Chain A
């Protein structure tokens, strides 16, 4: 569950990140790249979820849709709607095979480090200092802008609780679109969400954000 929550968190972070242009080194590049999202009110995209487990020979691939509606409603629906991930910015709800469970970012020790990192990034401060909570690395591969965030966890006990060692956000600079969010889990496991076919200001019914 929490793995998927991080995807959403990463999305929140990355989307808001583009609007707030907060990473010092490449903020202008990021700003330009994501300028298209700045004034949108709603959005949809196709999502391909790929789960890689070191133990399993074949990655598990599912598809679905990503929905966004201002101010912060988001939903990733996969597996023909049986699995959903929703957030209103504070509370996260996961539906797995029709069963829903919720968690709050507040007080969740496993989420705290990444949330802290994201909050600092998305704080809107031009000089946001992440050095205490995360290492942020930006690199470019052709048109791709790749941001790797690695939380800094000082306590060994807290490190054990870290489900993910880092997450990677890829943005197509040329198209000005978010391409993927990848969460590097324990060992050699990872989970990646690829986004395509963005439709901005698309009609998004409120019912997609409702858990039945």
Chain B
């Protein structure tokens, strides 16, 4: 029925050329236009998992985190130049970098904040001034019990003497008002309260000469907060390009200081450059070689355009459908999508190769519609299986691949045949004679070859049965990291290593206040984990950024405490003790003013006192406007990643709470990969069942033909799994895609060969089955295209692309061998019985 439909369409277009041409151009224009509208993401960060609630809803997509986008500039004192010189280099470098950015118009600038200095003195003055205005807001209500013990003559005399002594110290001279506001010694109680905060804020760095240094003062650090996400590799490349330029300049002018850098912006830029280079050099290069070979064999000038046109249509159709559905697409998925285009090219090759032989478009459709559509449906079935895997990139890829295959197939069967011109149908006779010679060679009757294939298959099956499938959970292995970036990371890691493991945890909220409130829940959890000995220490960010609700409670507590009676009591005690201590009682009037004045809750993070670059290491508003409040948690260093380590137990305790999370993609990747493993198993069997069903329906429930078509698919897939084990390779979130691809191409080859085997009269002598020969020729061209393209991926620099290469190559070769050798052999053997 489908064959008749496509033949009728062909006949209509053949007699209405204008309709054919206009409709084709219109469709190409329509889908081409919308395919250009899609936003292409250029970073593997899209693979970052999401932290999820127990009900599966997303807490935070890691790609939305701003803190991960920071770039660390690292200045190492190589030749003992000293702290002062290092600071000068830091300042000069940052000044030049900032100046370069400032040359651009506001909307094109890349740097949001360049944090290289901590002006301690300025900070101190601002902080004291702020504290004077908001003192009660920072006094925990629990402190008032201690205040009661201060209101004695003995204590106040002691305190007044202490104030007198401190009056002539640096602090006393700089901030006399602090002493005058505290005649009873409240500061001692408050210091106990904030001890944790004072010792644990700042993490592994220290401030020297107003600059950030590692503990041994040999490395200074500056932190760039970009205006863009690290996935925006266009801006990333611009910024990293400038940094590289200045690094080279400074290497010449100040050889004693080594400057390097690291961070996701740099990773994103280098990944993008490498991906583009690999796609350009390896994949496009190999495709050109393949097309050249095909051109030489097919001779017609229009063969290459005719080959490319359906693939082009399939691509723009796939991209525009992705635009309609999602609006964006990963460049990485598009790179790997080259494989899909290989599958798509295979269908076109079948149609064109068949035409080269028979020279009649209607005969081509009669012979090709059924196997091409079967191949298309089964391939789509396997690609659509990716939709059930909970990773955006794989879901996108599955959708894109499915649409691209549909587009290419329909174009090949509807719009391609009217291009064929019987009179101009040319072939390279020598090349086709050689191909025919290969096709007619009775390779399926060569027992040694069959034995070798059987032995290799057994070995691979054995490795698969024993070893199973393995997943690489470390997504860093998917990214490309140049050596100088790895060196920079290692330098900071070694210089700041405290012997413990440290990790960012976060509380989230729809507002910053909510995030800080939720931090309180995290604090309680971490405190109890600290009591259990799992947490060594953590940064008490909410002691610095106190929720406004709590501030109001504290203000009320302050006013409730300083009753007229208590104030009168203090006044009397001061009057009595001041002469003995040698101080003026009147000088403490600021205390009484502070006790009675009005206070308001205030957001310290908005007060502009703490440098923005520093605040952004403690809290942030993510790209999707979620507010986060961070804490660095220190625990035992886990040399082996296991669920039973202190770190994992802390993560489990925190991540199980709503609005709390650990900013560790690996922790969530484990869950994702566990899920992926389960999904993957289901995917394999669902896809196989689907393919078997399609085969059964297509072969009219003929079990022999269906199983013979199905067997090579299963075996070639198991060979891939076994070969992965033999060579110690693991599946990752990228090369898992190849499974569906190998599945799809194996199905296609198998279907075409089976179609050839059953669609022609009984073979009287080897090679006498012409339909099989036509299909084999097309398979040969298709396999050549795919093996060369996929083989070139093995030479890629980017690990994600390279990881696809090996498994795909093995799967491809296995699929071709089984289609060429094993399937005809089994058909002949079983057919005889």
Contacts and interface: CB of A to CB of B under 8 A. Distances in A.
Interface stretch (B121-129, B184-192, B237-245): B121-129
A163 B174 CA distance: 6
A132 B163 CA distance: 38
A55 B129 contact: no
Contacts of A110: 121, 125
Interface in A103-146: 108-110
Nearest to B169: A96
B584 A161 contact: no
B831 interface: no
B223 to A, nearest CB: 21
Contacts of A108: 121
Chain A binding surface SS class = loop
Interface in A186-208: 186-187, 189
A3 B125 contact: no
B582 A58 contact: yes
A57 B584 contact: yes
Nearest to A3: B173
Contacts of B180: 54-55, 187
Given A109-B119, A185-B176, A55 B125 contact: no
Contacts of A3: 173
B179 A55 contact: yes
Contacts of A51: 168
A80 interface: no
B177 interface: yes
A189 B177 contact: no
The contact size tier of chain B is 20 to 34
B587 interface: yes
B177 A55 contact: no
B126 A157 contact: yes
A56 B164 contact: yes
Contact of A55 (B174, B175, B583): B583
A53 B584 CA distance: 10
A174 interface: no
B176 A56 contact: no
B121 A53 contact: no
B122 A56 contact: no
Contacts of A2: 170, 173-174
Given A1-B170, A163-B174, A185-B173, A56 B126 contact: no
B118 interface: no
Contacts of A163: 173-174
B167 interface: yes
Contacts of B175: 186
Interface residues of A, number: 22
Nearest to A185: B173
Interface string A150-192: 0000000100110100000000000000000000011101000
A60 interface: yes
Contacts of A56: 164, 167, 582-584
B805 to A, nearest CB: 56
B573 to A, nearest CB: 16
A161 B125 contact: yes
Given A60-B168, A109-B121, A186-B177, A54 B584 contact: yes
Contacts of B129: 160
A55 B176 CA distance: 8
Given A185-B173, A189-B176, A53 B168 contact: yes
Contacts of B587: 54-55
A54 B121 contact: no
Interface string B705-722: 000000000000000000
Contacts of A157: 122, 126
Nearest to B578: A57
Nearest to B609: A157
A53 B122 CA distance: 24
Contacts of A185: 173, 176
Interface in B623-669: none
A186 B179 CA distance: 13
Contacts of B173: 2-3, 163, 185, 189
B210 to A, nearest CB: 8
A84 to B, nearest CB: 16
A55 B173 CA distance: 11
Contacts of A187: 176-177, 180
Nearest to A1: B170
B119 to A, nearest CB: 7
Nearest to A157: B126
B167 A55 contact: yes
Given A55-B167, A56-B164, A60-B168, A161 B583 contact: no
Contacts of A60: 168
Interface string B557-585: 00000000000000000000000001110
A2 B121 CA distance: 12
Nearest to B160: A55
Interface in A1-29: 1-3
Interface in B794-832: none
Interface in B321-362: none
A109 B126 CA distance: 13
A110 B125 CA distance: 10
Interface of A: 1-3, 51, 53-58, 60, 108-110, 157, 160-161, 163, 185-187, 189
Given A55-B176, A56-B582, 4 more contacts: A53-B176, A55-B588, A56-B584, A186-B175
Instruction: List the 7 shortest-distance A-B pairs measured between CB atoms, nearest first.
Output: A55-B587, A53-B167, A161-B125, A160-B125, A54-B587, A160-B129, A57-B582
11 contacts: A53-B167, A53-B176, A54-B584, A55-B164, A55-B179, A55-B180, A55-B583, A55-B584, A58-B582, A160-B126, A163-B174
